[in-house]
Amino acid sequence: MDSFDHLSASEKAEASELQKMIAIEQQKAQFQAQVHSFTDVCWDKCVDSPGSKLDYRTETCLQNCVERFIDTTLTITNRFTQMVQKGTH
């Protein structure tokens, strides 16, 4: 569905709206995958034996782990954006 030339104006609008909805759903899925990744990595790193309550050390470790994971993701995303912008100018 690369070309919408054969569609009417209303069909083109519907197709465009559908593409936007698909992009949003893909972003949601990517976000959920990222959260699962945070959970897996940080759980393995910080939790020795699960109990009914997190101790201070485990809670701090989990918080720091997720924050560093987010920082790293943002840094990589920003760097990639800079590279793309340099390539298009």
Distance of CA 29 to the CA centre of its chain: 8
Share of the chain above pLDDT 70, in %: 92
Domains of the chain by range and CATH? 9-88 (1.10.287.810)
State pLDDT tens for residues 44-61: 999 988 788 889 999 999
pLDDT tens, residue order, the chain (89 aa): 456 677 788 887 888 888 989 988 998 998 889 888 888 989 999 998 878 888 999 999 999 998 998 898 889 888 888 888 887 65
Four-residue CA torsion sign, 66, 70, 75, 80: positive
pTM: 0.55
Of the candidates 39, 57, 36, the residue with the CA atom closest to the CA atom of residue 48: 57
